[in-house]
């Protein structure tokens, strides 16, 4: 399972900079509105320090991180739904995302041609209205599609029509669909429409280098908005993150010391996204490879095995499990076993974060 994140936001807020920081191209985006004209997509390795920790104790030929798919959705101008700017045709790309990274400008910069003062809350509302209008378009088209069958007396179509009607009413008010409680059957009816405002959102407060900790008023406004809607939020400076990412390790450490930052923000962003989506990581470790795998929180051992090979779910016999912390403490699998910490788990075992696993499967 590869997690896909779609980056959205108003023009010139730092979307492409965040994309570059995540994907590590290191090129400098042009400072013009609408500078990006095509959606960009890239699959990147999920930075995970635990892989190196494991490698510290287990020799291997290669290290294979989990992957993350990132999409840079270009300039969504205010009023795009009315056909201004490039319009919202690119929002189609965002439909494929599992999660939305909503970049909000929290840095001051005179040369970007912004007429109004920096206003995170206002910007969020403007952008979300665009998302609502894009969804409304989709919902209306589908409502028309099922309405005819509903009138002809088809029960399933009637149910869909009613759900779509309720969705349309919410969107017309500028409300996100995720703000309404949907019964599982209703959510099921909406799912094939890939609606943007049903997706989990992580707000990215793009702070200036004068507020790297994200404690300023602007970043706080984003965090408060996120908390009020049950979404996640994170503050980071996309510009600096992008620069750090492109540096050699030595220079990077020096620069980070100067800035007074202890760690890169991107791993934090990714782990927030994992939390938001209810994902977790387990590892397999052997002489051929040490590999990170992404599963859902609550997944059983057979489901986890099924990630490695579809057959493994059915053919699962048992799992030998320890944690990365056990490895750090005992320094080898043999020592973990000798200490009685190597657990043998069956089909009902619910995987835990940071498990290192050997699956035993039948033929």
Ligand X SMILES: Nc1nc2c(ncn2[C@@H]2O[C@H](COP(=O)(O)OP(=O)(O)O)[C@@H](O)[C@H]2O)c(=O)[nH]1
- Binding stretches for Mg ion (CB under 5 A): 15-16, 36
- Rounded to whole angstroms, the Cα distance separating 223 from 239 reads 20
Q: Does 276 bind ligand X (CB under 6 A)?
A: no
Smallest distance from ligand X to CB 308, Å: 37
- 293: helix, strand or coil: strand
DSSP code of residue 42: E
Report the partner that residue 88 touches, choosing among Mg ion, ligand X, none (CB closer than 5 to 8 A by kind): none
Q: Does 239 bind ligand X (CB under 6 A)?
A: yes
Give 35 or 121: the residue with its C-beta nearer to ligand X.
35
Sheet containing 3-8, strands listed edge to edge, beginning at the edge strand earlier in sequence: 40-45, 67-72, 3-8, 99-106, 201-207, 232-236
Report the partner that residue 232 touches, choosing among Mg ion, ligand X, none (CB closer than 5 to 8 A by kind): none
Token pair belonging to 329: 């403490």
Report the partner that residue 109 touches, choosing among Mg ion, ligand X, none (CB closer than 5 to 8 A by kind): ligand X
Decide: 26 and 240 in contact? Cβ < 8 Å: no
Q: Does 35 bind ligand X (CB under 6 A)?
A: yes
Torsions phi, psi for 253 (to 5 deg): -60, -40
Give 17 or 294: the residue with its C-beta nearer to ligand X.
17
Smallest distance from ligand X to CB 120, Å: 13
CA atoms within 13 A on the CB side of 268: 13
- The number of beta carbons lying within 10 Å of the beta carbon of residue 236 is 25
Smallest distance from ligand X to CB 235, Å: 10
Given 31, 230, 278, 286, the residue binding ligand X (CB under 6 A): 31
Given 3, 8, 15, 204, the residue binding ligand X (CB under 6 A): 15
Give 17 or 93: the residue with its C-beta nearer to ligand X.
17
Smallest distance from ligand X to CB 45, Å: 22
What is the contact mask toward ligand X in residues 96 to 135, using x (rule: CB under 6 A)? -----------x-x--x-----------------------
Decide: 273 and 6 in contact? Cβ < 8 Å: no
Interface positions, 194-213, toward ligand X (CB under 6 A): 206, 208
Decide: 203 and 104 in contact? Cβ < 8 Å: yes
Decide: 132 and 171 in contact? Cβ < 8 Å: yes
- Rounded to whole angstroms, the Cα distance separating 333 from 145 reads 59
Give 30 or 350: the residue with its C-beta nearer to Mg ion.
30
- The number of beta carbons lying within 10 Å of the beta carbon of residue 312 is 19
Give residues in contact with ligand X (CB under 6 A): 9, 11-17, 29, 31, 35-36, 75, 107, 109, 112, 206, 208, 237-239
């Amino acid at each position: 399972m590869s997690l896909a994140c779609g980056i959205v936001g108003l023009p010139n807020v730092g979307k492409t900079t965040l994309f570059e920081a995540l994907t590590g191209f290191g090129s400098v985006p042009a400072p013009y509105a609408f500078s990006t004209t095509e959606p960009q997509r890239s699959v990147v390795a999920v930075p995970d320090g635990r892989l190196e920790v494991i490698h510290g104790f287990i020799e291997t030929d290669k290290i294979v991180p989990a992957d993350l798919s990132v999409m840079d959705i270009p300039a969504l101008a205010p009023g795009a739904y009315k056909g201004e700017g490039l319009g919202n045709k690119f929002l189609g790309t965002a439909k494929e995302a599992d999660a939305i990274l909503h970049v909000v400008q929290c840095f001051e910069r005179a040369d970007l041609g912004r007429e109004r003062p920096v206003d995170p809350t206002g910007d969020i509302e403007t952008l979300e209205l665009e998302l609502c209008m894009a969804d409304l378009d989709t919902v209306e088209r589908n409502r028309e599609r099922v309405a005819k069958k509903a009138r002809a007396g088809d029960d399933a179509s009637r149910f869909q029509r009613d759900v779509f009607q309720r969705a349309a009413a919410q969107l017309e008010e500028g409300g996100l669909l995720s703000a309404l409680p949907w019964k599982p059957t209703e959510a099921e009816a909406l799912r094939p429409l890939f609606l943007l405002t049903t997706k989990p959102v992580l707000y990215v407060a793009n702070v200036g280098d004068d507020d790297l900790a994200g404690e300023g008023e602007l970043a706080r406004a984003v965090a408060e908005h996120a908390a009020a809607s049950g979404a996640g939020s994170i503050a980071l400076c996309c510009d600096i993150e992008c620069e750090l990412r492109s540096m050699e390790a030595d220079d990077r450490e020096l620069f980070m010391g100067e800035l007074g930052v202890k760690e890169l923000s991107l791993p934090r962003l990714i782990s927030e996204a994992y939390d938001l989506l209810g994902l977790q990581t387990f590892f397999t470790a052997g002489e051929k490879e040490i590999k990170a795998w992404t599963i859902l929180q609550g997944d059983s051992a057979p489901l986890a095995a099924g990630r490695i090979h579809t057959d493994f779910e059915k053919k699962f016999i048992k799992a030998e499990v320890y944690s990365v912390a056990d490895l750090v403490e005992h320094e080898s699998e043999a020592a973990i076993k000798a200490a009685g910490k190597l657990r043998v788990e069956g089909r009902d075992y619910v995987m835990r974060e940071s498990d290192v696993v050997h699956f035993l499967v039948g033929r």
